[in-house]
Chains A and B, each alone.
Chain A
Amino acid sequence: MALLETTGLTARYGDFQALFGVDIALNQGETIAIIGANGAGKTTLMRSISGVLASEPEAVLFDGEKIGALPAPDIVARGIAMVPEGRKLFASLSVEENLLIGRYGRAVEGHWNLDTVYDLFPILRERRANPGTALSGGQQQMVAIGRALMSNPRVLLCDEISLGLAPVVIRDIYAAFPRIREAGASIVVVEQDIGQALKVADRVYCMMEGRITLTGAPATLTRETIHAAYFGH
């Protein structure tokens, strides 16, 4: 049985339907990538899983439990943490406070704590007292990832962590992924950078207009099939 699974997941913003029956599965220890053009519904999928958007209870299963209708705080308490699109650091909090808030109100057991996050991203230790928003884009992204790790999640959702970052910075950030996996998290990355997605993921889902149009292991996908799944032609 998959660790995290969506079945027939739909989502709407008012009258506008953004997801039309999305089925994805994430197995224990796996990393999957969701790719797709702008507006395909990737962020909406992440929001639905993380509880920002409510769904039908049975549309999202985590460890066999129906979590589709649960609000975000209940989801993170169960072990699914999100690195939201655009990083969304708290402007009134320092770097260290941003990290600490990742485990708000819970005594969480596990590998990740302030020290191990600082070991993962040493630059953050130097900038721990700065306001989170005073950092460079790459450093902010590290804070956002560290903040999610602080809850020692079993599933880490990463929404477009490479957005707006220079290639070397992206490489640095993805260099942390093996250690995150080793520490026990299964990962969903949302990426527009297809090359990056194929490199990091065990399996890839391609989305278009609110639907999954292609699934497979990176080795089985060709440029042409991805192109077709991306743009519909």
Chain B
Amino acid sequence: MTSALDTIIQGILLGGLYALFAAGLSLVFGIMRLVNLAHGDLIVLAAFLILVLVTALGLNPFVAALVAMPLMFAAGWALQYFLLNRTLGADILPPLLVTFGLSIVIQNGLLEGFTADSRRISAGGLESASLALGPVNVGVMPLLTLVSAIAVIIGLNQLFYRTSLGRAFRATSDDPVTAGLMGIRPKRIFATATGIAMVVVTIAALYLGTRANFDPTIGPARLIYAFEAVIIGGLGSLWGTLAGGIVIGIAQTFGAAINPEWQILAGHLAFLLVLLVRPRGLFPRAVD
């Protein structure tokens, strides 16, 4: 009984990580209907950036992530402004193919720079710390991941629904031409959105890199988990995305409990099952 409970709790915590992977993807899709196939590789890129800051400057990984955030924001802003904005339009091919190309470029650039070796960011002993929550032991890092995911979602929702920038995001998403008449520059709004998504990506990268090994090729798998979380949750709902991440997380931990080789497969099958019974996700938005 405790082992089933334990499996569920580990799954929920893992779901927090997947929700972090997914939040940036969801944000960008919500605002500009752009699906960035390089999203997973950008998470890995950010993990390498944090790794470099930790090893070269001897920073604590949390501080390193704070330093990496503005850098990743700038990179995301520039990426959107100079590259991805050019691909937006009625045709879905250009954004897909350009971001797919970007994914390959980032992976191979990282392979050149860092080799294919597995890396890990040391969190100074925090990785092995755990708390006793009633009958189950919970790792501190997984717990921090989930708490961060919830904080990120609250923060993004506040930004989206309570600020002038959030209004501009929604207005631009509704109708970029009329938004222009209001003094909004859609290209900059999109660039800012991608910049913010990259800040979230940096947070995801911190936990990706401290909780497990990573190497330049693991990005696409993270993209897939993120995507599954978004679809399970229902497009456009950040809380739904968290629920989606948790569904994948629980499916994976149960799969792994039966047979370690089934962990990933179980997550994918859960996704397909949801697609079968609830094609619009668990929490579909009324509009759209």
**Assembled-state Cα–Cα distance A76/B185 (Å):** 11
Given contacts A100-B167, A101-B171, A105-B164, contact A84 B178 (CB under 8 A): yes
Q: Which of A11-19, A31-39, A90-98, A224-232 contacts B (4 or more CB under 8 A)?
A: A90-98
By beta carbon, the residue of chain B nearest A82 is B181
Q: Does B261 contact A (CB under 8 A)?
A: no
Chain B's closest residue to A105 (CB) is B183
Q: Please, what's the 1-or-0 string for B160-180, where 1 marks a CB less than 8 Å from any CB in chain A? A: 000010011011011101111
Bound: A84/B171 CA distance, A:
15
B136 at the interface (CB under 8 A from A): no
Say yes or no: is A77 at the interface (Cβ < 8 Å to chain B). yes
- Which residues of chain B have C-beta atoms less than 8 A from A52's C-beta? 177, 180-181
Residue A106 CB within 8 A of the other chain:
yes
| B180, B183, B184, B185: residue with the most chain A Cβ atoms closer than 10 Å | B183
CB atoms of A92 and B170 under 8 A apart: yes
Contact (A102, B182) CB under 8 Å given A91-B174, A93-B170: yes
Instruction: Give chain B interface residues in 73-107, CB to chain A under 8 Å.
Output: none
A90 engages B178 (CB within 8 Å): yes
A73 touches B184 (CB 8 A): yes
Classify the interface of chain B: helix, strand, loop or mixed. Answer: helix
Say yes or no for A88: interface residue by CB 8 A criterion.
yes
Kindly identify, within residues 69 to 97 of chain A, every residue whose CB is under 8 Å from any CB belonging to chain B: 71-73, 76-77, 81-82, 84, 88, 90-93, 97
* Distance, CA A76 to CA B178, complexed state (A): 12
What's the least CB distance linking B187 to chain A, in Å? 10
Residue of B nearest to A80 (CB): B181
A72 close to B170 (CB less than 8 A): no
Size range of the chain B interface in the assembly? 10 to 19
Q: Please pick, from A72, A91, A93, A100, the residue contacting B181 in the complex, using a CB distance under 8 A.
A: A72
Q: A100-B164, A104-B164 are in contact. Are A90 and B183 (CB under 8 A)?
A: no
Q: Are A92 and B183 in contact (CB under 8 A)?
A: no
Asked if residues A92 and B171 are in contact (CB atoms below 8 Å), the reply is: yes
Q: Which A residues are in CB contact (< 8 Å) with B180?
A: 51-52, 71-73
**Smallest CB separation, A77 vs chain B (Å):** 6
Taken residue by residue from 136 to 170, chain A's Cβ proximity to chain B (1 for < 8 Å, 0 otherwise) reads as 00000000000100010000000000000000000
> B167–A151 contact, CB under 8 A?
no
Query: Could you show 18 A-B contacts with beta carbons less than 8 Å apart?
Result: A72-B177, A72-B183, A73-B180, A76-B181, A81-B181, A88-B175, A90-B170, A90-B171, A92-B174, A93-B171, A101-B167, A101-B168, A101-B179, A101-B182, A102-B182, A103-B183, A104-B167, A105-B164
9 shortest interchain CB distances as A-B pairs: A72-B180, A92-B170, A88-B178, A90-B171, A90-B174, A76-B183, A73-B183, A104-B183, A73-B185
List residues of B whose CB falls within 8 A of some A CB: 164, 167-168, 170-171, 173-175, 177-185, 287
